[in-house]
A = this chain, B = another copy of it.
Amino acid sequence: MNLQNDLLLRAARGESVERVPVWMMRQAGRMLAEYRAVRQRAGDFITLAKTPELAAEVTIQPVDLLGVDAAIIFSDILVVPEAMGLPYEMVEARGPVFPTTVRTIADLDQLRLADAETDLGYVLEAIRLTKKELNDRVPLIGFAGAPFTIFCYMTEGKGSKTFSIAKKLLYTDPVFAHALLQRITDSTIAYLRAQIRAGANLLQIFDSWAGILSPEQYRVFSLPYIKQICDALNDPTGGEIVPVTIFAKGAFFARQEIGQLNCAVVGLDWNMEPRESRALIPGKTLQGNMDPCVLYADFAQIRAEVKQMITSFGTQRYIANLGHGVYPDTDPDKARCFIEAVKEFGVK
């Protein structure tokens, strides 16, 4: 592998970099007119995600249009439950919905272990196509949801502010909860290994709903499954080893424990202060954490915020990003301003 721009990989591995690498969560998305055009051609979100040529096209757009230092494969964390036998729909302005939910061992018995090559071949094909078309300009990031976050959607059936149905099951039927979490974990490990074989250069685990759990529940129902994934991906008998990023939104209370996992990078949201996070997570690369709402500010303020962020994190062992996905109504010129400011202020 001879990447022309390997800043992200070197930063992830803790190697010295001449400048801070930068990308944006949800950079391939509705913010870009060019993305919206492809999505309209596809008809809907799920068709777009399932058509490798189109998924590869929108994956590469931000590299050309925004100048980011990495591409992230265009997909969705909910392809894993679908591959386990639980299809979902994407409802406009409402988000994902599972017509059937999984709330008992009997429900779980209806599901299979996802087979990455057959059930998720379209993602792997999109990765291969993207790698070919990227032509080693920048690294490609693969990803999956953390088991607890996937559990939330499979049990609740839709997005929720509290996920109280999902959390209720942790108390009323912990045996079922652990069985489902284990099935998701096994499916996810197979899926992420297949992503590496297809060409992913780095993997990110999104625990988007980490913040709804108490510290104790997080230690029981989320961390052990993320640990299994990290350990499996760090096993050289499983194939090539690539850096892994854990992004557990809202889990400020678990930073120390996440920092002790077999991962290279820890992602931070904008609630988590850079210097405090450095102290809690020594020896890892940190990623984040600007509030995506800062991109609504004027150019001067965006530049000032980026400068401040880099001063707080430092230029080494650091990957600049937002603290959450970019909002769809963001002006792409503001996103470019963010990226260019990192390139300007992030020089060693």
A residues bordering B, Cβ < 8 Å? 159, 161-162, 164, 167-168, 170-172, 211, 214-215, 217, 250, 252-253, 270-273, 291-294, 296-297, 301, 323-324, 327, 329
Contact = CB atoms under 8 A, between A and B. Distances in A.
A287 to B, nearest CB: 16
Ranked 3 nearest A-B pairs via Cβ: A171-B297, A167-B293, A168-B296
Contacts of A250: 211, 250, 271
A255 to B, nearest CB: 11
Contacts of A252: 252-253, 271
Residue among A270, A271, A294, A329 with max Cβ neighbours from chain B (10 Å): A271
A343 to B, nearest CB: 22
Contacts of A170: 293
A162 B26 CA distance: 15
Contacts of A323: 214
A294 B253 contact: no
Contacts of A217: 291
A260 to B, nearest CB: 18
Nearest to A276: B253
16 contacts: A159-B161, A164-B293, A164-B329, A167-B296, A168-B293, A171-B293, A171-B294, A171-B301, A172-B296, A172-B297, A211-B250, A214-B271, A215-B271, A217-B291, A252-B252, A253-B271
Chain copies in complex: 2
A297 B214 CA distance: 15
Contacts of A215: 271, 273
Given A211-B271, A252-B252, A301-B171, A327 B296 contact: no
A172 to B, nearest CB: 6
Nearest to A250: B271
Given A164-B327, A214-B323, A215-B273, 6 more contacts: A162-B324, A171-B296, A211-B271, A214-B271, A252-B253, A253-B272
Contacts of A253: 252, 271-273
A84 B172 CA distance: 44
